[in-house]
Chains A and B, each alone.
Chain A
Amino acid sequence: MLDWQSAQEDGGEALTQRVSRDRLQVVSSKVSVWTRLLRIWTYRALLLSLVRKELSVKYKNSILGFAWSMLNPALTLIVYYVVFQLVLKNGIPQFAIFLLCGLVIWNFFSTALSGATTSVVANAGIVKKVSFPREVLPLASVGSSLVFFFLQVIVLVIALIIARDLPAFTYLPLIVPALVDLVLLAAAFSVFLSAVNVYFRDTQHLLEIVLMAWFWGTPVVYAYQTIAVPLAHRHIGWIYLLNPVTAVVLTFQRALYAKVSPVLATGSVMKILPGNSPVWYLAQLAIVFVVSCVLLVIALAIFGRMEGNFAEEL
């Protein structure tokens, strides 16, 4: 009985060994995007351990540790609440919730991009000494940002519970494709920026400024309609949707904040979100999806072209 079992185990092990033994690695300057994707997939364990590393290193030696990633949005929230609801009074009801819906998205996007941009340069030590698909480095930055994103979503849910607000249930399922879009988009930019930064170290400084402008071009702090309505009057409403992050932010706001055009205490109606059907939102997300996929393929191709000289440039 025992012998049979061990024989069985041996057979299984031999099989898995043979699978890895037959692996043929080709080192050449011409490798297709598809081969690159397959290679990243075989290194998914590395992706996970790099994400784990970043998470455990980030708050090492700090007393509050992981709590910081939740405290940070919570404290930002309070600052923005004080500034825009108590001091400047922009008039958006339940502003804290509205803001947080967009802010979690934006925080994910910007931390993923800024972390990824420096990822290859920061890991010069292993890039110069070990062979692995280097795309894993920027993708790990996306991965760890995603973990922090979910921690921040917890803050958002707590805020929703405190405010006793109900989400828009018909729009709630749209969050899934929105997240897929967001991750793909962040991955595309991350892969591209990490490669470019190896050659032009200005990228990381330039990115800070671009991200700031991009932030204000995304309806996070103010309402979408504040900008979209005047643009629509001039028949250039589409310009605003060129920003692919907008569609994702809008979906989040529509699903969780859920107030399209609330009636204010003064009796006037405030237009905040587009009042379109879920299909319109889905269509926007579909466009972003296609754009993200194309960008990701382009980014991988560019990365592949540039990767050959990483070890020398660093």
Chain B
Amino acid sequence: MANAIEVDGVSKIFRLYQEKYTSLKERVIKAGKIPYQEFWALKDININVEEGTSIGLLGHNGSGKSTLLKCIAGIIQPTKGEIRVKGRVSAMLEVGAGFHPELSGRDNIFLSATLLGVPVKEIAARFDDIVEFSELGAFIDNQVKHYSTGMYARLGFAVAVNVDPDVLLVDEVLAVGDENFQRKCIERIRLFQKEGRTIVFVSHSPELVRATCEEAYVLDHGSVVGAGDPGSAIAVLRESLQAGAQVGGARISDPDKVEEPKAEKVPNVELVSIRAVSASEERPDHIFPHDPLKVEVGYHARSPQPGTSVAIQLFSPQKEVIFAANTREMGIEGFDLDSDGVVEINFEDLALLDGIYGVAVTLLDSGGNPISWLEDRAAFQVVNPSRVSGMVALNFSINSYSVPHIAN
């Protein structure tokens, strides 16, 4: 398949001035010797995104993920390298960017859509869809300055998704709006994926990336440090986060120093194996709904680790978290781990229907910091012999009775 986005050897250097000299006088006086530091926001990035795939860009603050997205969107130009994007791009870096407060919602739809490069004819054809999606109804003819934040965000999102993009660039915009609206946005993004559009997601939330993307890239100090399926990319991200926490403030000022402590850091306890199996005596090979399930996690502790708590997550086939528990948060006393052993998590009644479900387990130290985790290594399949369908196995009964017709 052809590539929708080709990022070819892209670097971006920002100049960090101690002070900003924006007046002519200051520039003339300080001509040529304005002190600045060069800051490599992006270092030789090469990413190809196939048409119709969704990728996530992960990384902590200042890792360059938003800069890369802005480069792909064409808002800033890379210092070196080239980016080729095929088709119509719609970037949602900020919902409602380009709205003018004095204009009505109607006028702003046209203004904002032409800003995204959509011909007026096409906007007119989509106008009703946009208004419907935004749920603004009659308010569409009011000035935007009278809108609430939620209305503003809805209109902005409605325009961005209705310009019929081939490539959609999304940066944390889903953080705005109420839950209802967020769900609607995610539904729309899912629809886009089904229609074979390309999506690039920038997010702080690994869960969102896991749930929506097929591939993820982890950025750290402007370089790609991890790539692959979201599960393994998230593992890389967590590792680099942990390394960052160790070094503290040093990492921002001097990126070269980070590498060493990262290698030195060896967790005291490591998870070495994980499996999810049927705990039923009748059917050790199959798991039916309401069967017991056992998750066995093998660990190796180099020295005693008291007060360890366990967090477990179950994922739906769509990679959404369907269950999460953390013994620490539940107030269960921590376990004392030493040498080698197994942590066993038993689900007595697995109320799930057909599908392959993923398991992730994390060990946390007594302070609640993650020490070791395993994910995307274990899965179990639920086979459903009954005639019901869906995801959750609910017990129910059904009966019918007649009610005597009440006269008068």
Q: Is A130 within 8 A of B116, CB to CB? A: yes
Q: Is B75 within 8 A of A24, CB to CB? A: no
Q: Is A202 within 8 A of B98, CB to CB? A: no
Q: Is A200 within 8 A of B24, CB to CB? A: yes
Name the CB-closest residue of A to B100: A53
Give complex CA distance A36, B97 in Å: 23
Binary CB contact string for chain A from 46 to 57 against chain B (1 if under 8 A, 0 otherwise) = 101110110011
Contacts of A52 on B, CB cut-off 8 Å?
A: 107
Q: Could you tell me the distance in whole angstroms from the C-beta of A19 to the nearest C-beta in chain B? A: 10
Q: Could you tell me the distance in whole angstroms from the C-beta of B116 to the nearest C-beta in chain A? A: 7
Q: Is B114 within 8 A of A49, CB to CB? A: yes
Q: Is A226 among interface residues, defined by CB-CB distance under 8 A? A: no
Q: A53-B111, A130-B115 are in contact. Are A28 and B102 (CB under 8 A)?
A: no
Q: Is B81 among interface residues, defined by CB-CB distance under 8 A? A: yes
Interface of A is mostly: helix
Q: How many residues of A contact B (CB 8 A)?
A: 44
Give complex CA distance A51, B76 in Å: 25
Give complex CA distance A22, B76 in Å: 23
Q: Is B94 among interface residues, defined by CB-CB distance under 8 A? A: yes
> In the complex, which of the residues B74, B81, B91, B102 has the most CB atoms of chain A within 10 Å of its own CB atom?
B74
Q: Is B98 within 8 A of A60, CB to CB? A: no
Q: Is A29 within 8 A of B77, CB to CB? A: yes
The residue that A24 contacts in the complex, of B27, B79, B85, B93, with Cβ under 8 A, is: B85
Contacts of B97 on A, CB cut-off 8 Å?
A: 125-126, 129-130
Binary CB contact string for chain A from 16 to 32 against chain B (1 if under 8 A, 0 otherwise) = 01001111111111000
Q: Is A308 among interface residues, defined by CB-CB distance under 8 A? A: yes
Q: Is B40 among interface residues, defined by CB-CB distance under 8 A? A: no
Q: Is A53 within 8 A of B103, CB to CB? A: yes
Contacts of A29 on B, CB cut-off 8 Å?
A: 77-80
Contacts of B47 on A, CB cut-off 8 Å?
A: none
Q: A131-B75, A132-B117 are in contact. Are A28 and B81 (CB under 8 A)?
A: yes
Contacts of A27 on B, CB cut-off 8 Å?
A: 71-72, 74, 77-78, 82-85
Contacts of B86 on A, CB cut-off 8 Å?
A: 21-25
> In the complex, which of the residues A22, A43, A200 has the most CB atoms of chain B within 10 Å of its own CB atom?
A200
Give complex CA distance A134, B274 in Å: 55
The residue that B75 contacts in the complex, of A28, A129, A202, A203, with Cβ under 8 A, is: A129
Give complex CA distance A69, B27 in Å: 38
Q: Is A45 within 8 A of B114, CB to CB? A: yes
Q: Is A26 within 8 A of B83, CB to CB? A: yes
Binary CB contact string for chain B from 22 to 34 against chain A (1 if under 8 A, 0 otherwise) = 1111010000000
Binding site for A on B (CB under 8 A): 14, 22-25, 27, 70-89, 91, 93-94, 97-98, 100, 102-103, 107, 110-111, 114-120, 164, 166
Binding site for B on A (CB under 8 A): 17, 20-29, 42-43, 45-46, 48-50, 52-53, 56-57, 60, 125-132, 199-203, 206, 307-313
